[in-house]
Amino acid sequence: MSDHDWIFKDHPSKFTRFMMSAKAEKVAIALAIISTLATLRDLIDPAATIAYLAAHRPAVAKGLAVALIFIGFMLRGYLPKIYGTVEVCVGLMIINDTPDMVSPTIPAVIPLLTGAYVGVRGLDNIAKGLNAERGVGRVFNFLFKNPGKEKSKSA
């Protein structure tokens, strides 16, 4: 035992107290989860996985799509602003992914109109989560004349 060991024995450092605490355990678990998820992300390419499922396991892909319907509907109910933002982004991706039109035929225009429709629905869902009298809701109401949250009317 050195001359300074008694300091650490009787008066543990803040680091030592932290390492012995429940907070350290939670931090270690969080770091392990983050590390595992980062590793899984590198091992599993989402685009390749979806392409594989669509080509080789279409029933699984359809089952995941059905699950996504329920998850999306739940998100729309609990977090309409976030759902609406995702919906606007999907609409923009649909429009961006539409091939350039050689001739404006109905089948060629449908993806553009679909993207626009999804974007409008997204803005509608964002408006449902805003208060038209305050903050962003006021600006949103001024730009789009969308009432936002409906107030209950008593007769």
The predicted-structure confidence for 32-57, as pLDDT tens digits, reads as follows: 887 777 766 666 777 778 888 888 98
For residue 110, how many C-alpha atoms fall within 13 Å in the half-sphere facing its CB?
4
**DSSP label at 3?**
T
Rounded distance, CA 92 to CA 88, Å? 6
Instruction: Look up residue 77 and give its amino acid.
Output: G
pLDDT score of 15 more than 70: no
Contacts with 61 (C-beta within 8 Å, 6 or more apart), sequence order: 50, 53, 54
Residue 155 has what pLDDT?
A: 44
pLDDT score of 13 more than 70: no
Instruction: Check: CB of residue 83 under 8 Å from CB of residue 72.
Output: yes
Which tens digits make up the pLDDT trace of 49-85?
Answer: 888 888 898 898 888 888 888 888 888 888 888 888 9
Contacts with 108 (C-beta within 8 Å, 6 or more apart), sequence order: 99, 101, 102
pLDDT score of 27 more than 50: yes
